[in-house]
Amino acid sequence: MSRKSPPRRKNWTWRSQALRGLVYQFFAIGAVALGVWWLAGNTMHNMQVRGIQSGFDFLARPAGFDIGESLYAFDSNHPYWQAFLVGLTNTLRVAVIGIILTTVLGVLLGVGRFSRNALVRGLCYAYVEFFRNVPVLLQLLMWYVFFTEALPAAAQAWTLGPLFLSKGGLSFPIPVWETGHLWGLYGLIAGAALAFAYRRWAFRRFEATGRPRSLFWVPLGLLFAMGALGWATGGAPAHFVVPVRGEFAIEEGGSLTPEFMAVLLGLSIYTAAFVAEVVRAGIQSVARGQGEAAAAIGLSQTQSMRLVQLPQALRVIIPPLTNQYLNLTKNSSLAVAIGYPDVVSIANTALNQTGRAVECIAIVMLVYLTTSLATSIFMNWYNVRAAIKER
């Protein structure tokens, strides 16, 4: 029931605010554009005068260097743009897994601050105060030193079944791909569809009869049961490439390098301290009466948190949480200090091999700008979804 004001015609005279605003904006944008144009022109001119070659043509030339870890096969013959792509995927690998880890950990810690158990409360408090007050670079170096100094050499690696933990990182068995796995995948897809259908049905039944059914464990069970069924249909392939102790290193199998683990742990644990505070603030923003009302209708403490308080707290949580996600992504650029080949590290190398400093730094800026904007857009969309629908 919005009230429409009668349409007013804008008054385009020199004394009107609208026109003045427009003129000011025009001049402001013009000044910025002129500044950028002057900087760009001056740079080009100076580089030309000094005989520095410039341009992005180098991206198509072979890179000529190897990259220690990459999600897909990279060879020194591949062009520079693929090297940058490897750096980007390595950055995203840390960012995406880090965001998931930090969210889980942060929410647990934030909720833990309201625990009735004084020990849990105190531990969560101590965690937050310790990890958010030590600079993140130091934490990364601390984890890296832990992995490279405190862990044993490969020859004396700590073993737990087929797992090896040593200075070389964490090695684990990886399954050998067989067609049977494809059946398992089909099973999972079918399970997902079934779980979705079940949830809709259970929810409708709940609204109709008031009898609650599990909306989490049963669908999860369905998903995995179908996956297992598909896998069994495909002949239950269970061949693994198991890591073995080599002369100097653990060979074969899959592995996580100490660089990756240090970056991932360091960033997740650091950011989780901030996320915990964001979650705590969000929960505190929910009126006390909501929890009491939930208790009055017979919801347990956990149910009250999960069904009443957290969903309302989300409105307050999401915007600052977005900031934390962006911080985590951008802080991953510190990985270069401990030898993780993220996009900054690759750009550093490329910058040196080619001397195209301005271009390489522009690429790095573009990468972070793009990932940050994408994260923001996604979180804004989620924020709109979580916001109270006011009618």
Partner 1 sequence: MKFSTMRLAAAAFTGMGVLLAGPAQAGKTLDAVKARGQIVCGVSTGLAGFSQADSNGKWSGLDVDVCRALAAALFNDPEKVKYVPLSAPQRFTALQSGEVDVLPRNTTFTLTRDASLGLSATVVNYYDGQGFMVPVKTKLKSAKQLKGQTVCVQSGTTTEKNLADFSKANNLNIKPVVFDKLEAANAAYFSGRCVAYTTDASGLASIRAKEAKDPKEHLVLPDLISKEPLGPMVRRGDDEWFAIVKWVMYGMLEAEEYGVTQANVDQMKASSADPVVMRLLGGGNEDTGKLLGLDKDWMTRAIKAVGNYGESFERNVGAKSAVNLPRGLNNLWNKGGLMYAYPIR
- C-alpha dihedral over 91, 94, 97, 102, to 10 degrees? -120
The continuous run of DSSP H or E covering 165 comes out as: strand 163-166
86, 341 contact by CB (below 8 A): yes
76 vs 380, beta carbon nearer partner 1:
76
The continuous run of DSSP H or E covering 170 comes out as: strand 169-172
List binders of partner 1 among 195-234 (CB under 8 A).
none
Give burial (CB, 10 Å; 0-12/13-18/19+) of 369: exposed
Residue among 11, 16, 46, 233 that touches partner 1 (CB under 8 A): 46
DSSP 239: -
Residue owning tokens 């705590």 = 280
70, 345 contact by CB (below 8 A): no
- Angle (CA) 240-244-249 rounded to 5° is 135
Binding footprint of partner 1, residue count (CB under 8 A): 57
Alpha carbon distances (Å) from 164 to 240, 253, 263, 315: 15, 10, 19, 43
Rounded CA gap, 41 and 48, in Å?
11
Q: Does the protein bind partner 1 through residue 242 (CB under 8 A)? A: no
76 vs 301, beta carbon nearer partner 1:
76
Closest distance between partner 1 and the C-beta of residue 75, in Å?
Answer: 8
Burial call 307-318: b when 16+ CB within 10 Å, e when fewer: ebbbebbbebbb
Rounded CA gap, 184 and 231, in Å?
4
List binders of partner 1 among 80-139 (CB under 8 A).
135, 137-138
Q: Does the protein bind partner 1 through residue 327 (CB under 8 A)? A: no
Region near partner 1 per CB under 8 A, out of 242-250, 289-297, 305-313, 377-385: 242-250
Closest distance between partner 1 and the C-beta of residue 51, in Å?
Answer: 4
Q: Does the protein bind partner 1 through residue 73 (CB under 8 A)? A: no
Return the SS3 of 147.
helix
Q: Does the protein bind partner 1 through residue 388 (CB under 8 A)? A: no
46 vs 323, beta carbon nearer partner 1:
46
Residue among 163, 241, 337, 379 that touches partner 1 (CB under 8 A): 337
89 vs 284, beta carbon nearer partner 1:
89
Closest distance between partner 1 and the C-beta of residue 359, in Å?
Answer: 10
Region near partner 1 per CB under 8 A, out of 9-17, 144-152, 186-194, 265-273: 144-152
Region near partner 1 per CB under 8 A, out of 23-31, 48-56, 180-188, 221-229: 48-56
Closest distance between partner 1 and the C-beta of residue 276, in Å?
Answer: 23
* Strand residues in 191-289 grouped as ranges (E): 240-241, 244-245, 250-251, 254-256
The two structure tokens encoding residue 132: 């958010």
Region near partner 1 per CB under 8 A, out of 51-59, 88-96, 227-235, 377-385: 51-59
Residue among 59, 67, 85, 264 that touches partner 1 (CB under 8 A): 67
DSSP 113: T
Closest distance between partner 1 and the C-beta of residue 250, in Å?
Answer: 11
One symbol per residue from 344 to 373: x for binding partner 1 (CB under 8 A), - otherwise; what is it?
Answer: xx--xx-xxxxx-xx--x--x---------
Q: Give residues in contact with partner 1 (CB under 8 A).
A: 39, 42-43, 45-47, 49-53, 64-69, 75-77, 135, 137-138, 145, 148-149, 153, 167-168, 246-249, 251, 257-259, 333-334, 336-339, 341, 344-345, 348-349, 351-355, 357-358, 361, 364
